[in-house]
Structure 1
Amino acid sequence: MFLGRVIGNLVATQKEPKYEGKALLLVQPVSPEGNADGKAIVAVDSVGSGAGETVLVVIEGRSSSIAMGQKLAPANAAIVGIVDHIDWES
């Protein structure tokens, strides 16, 4: 699981049927301070997040499928939460 910021969305007119009704978003991993931390990934949105929001992302295949409400959905990453704030001390 990691923190990320939604930086874009993808439009796919042809896609796996299990993705129907789900948004595909581009997510930039971020540190708790909000700094970019790694390469951006594509994640299936299961919570209705939007551009600029900080989100919680799972990257385990089985967890991603469960978050989508689908058994064995072909997903590497899924957004499972929208972060309201982080209480963190360095």
Structure 2
Amino acid sequence: MFIGKVIGNVVCTQKDESLQGLKLLVIQPLNDKLTPKGKPIIAIDTIRQAGEGDLVYLAKSKESSLPLTKELTASDAGILGIIEHYNIKKLEE
């Protein structure tokens, strides 16, 4: 799993049948300090509640579509939850 921020949405007039009725969002992956890490990706909103500006946690590949009831879904990433609070405790060296 990894953390990201919703920075936009995707509107499609044509898409794979397995994606019908699913919301697609543009996600900026983030590192532990919540700064951008890599290029933005497209993810399925499997919880159907995420929106622009939300901090979310995601899964990649096959795990990304496990919350969906469909057997096969064309997906590289899926939103599994919205993060309400994020805290990292600094480990003593």
Q: Please, what TM-score do these two structures have when normalized by structure 1?
A: 0.90
Structure 1 distance, partners of 2:10, 2:65, is 19
Structure 2 distance, partners of 1:63, 1:70, is 13
| Structure 1 runs not aligned, ≥5 long | none
Runs of 4+ in 1 over 3 A off after TM superposition: none
- What do you get for the CA RMSD once the two structures are aligned? 1.2
1:29 partnered with 2:48: no
State percent identity of aligned pairs: 36
Cα distance, 1:65 vs structure 2: 2.3
| Structure 2 runs not aligned, ≥5 long | none
Q: Say if 1:68 and 1:78, in contact at 8 Å, map to a contact too.
A: no
Q: Please, what TM-score do these two structures have when normalized by structure 2?
A: 0.87
Equivalent in the alignment of 1:58: 59
When Rg is computed on C-alpha atoms for both structures, the one with the higher figure is: 2
Amino acid at match of 2:60: I
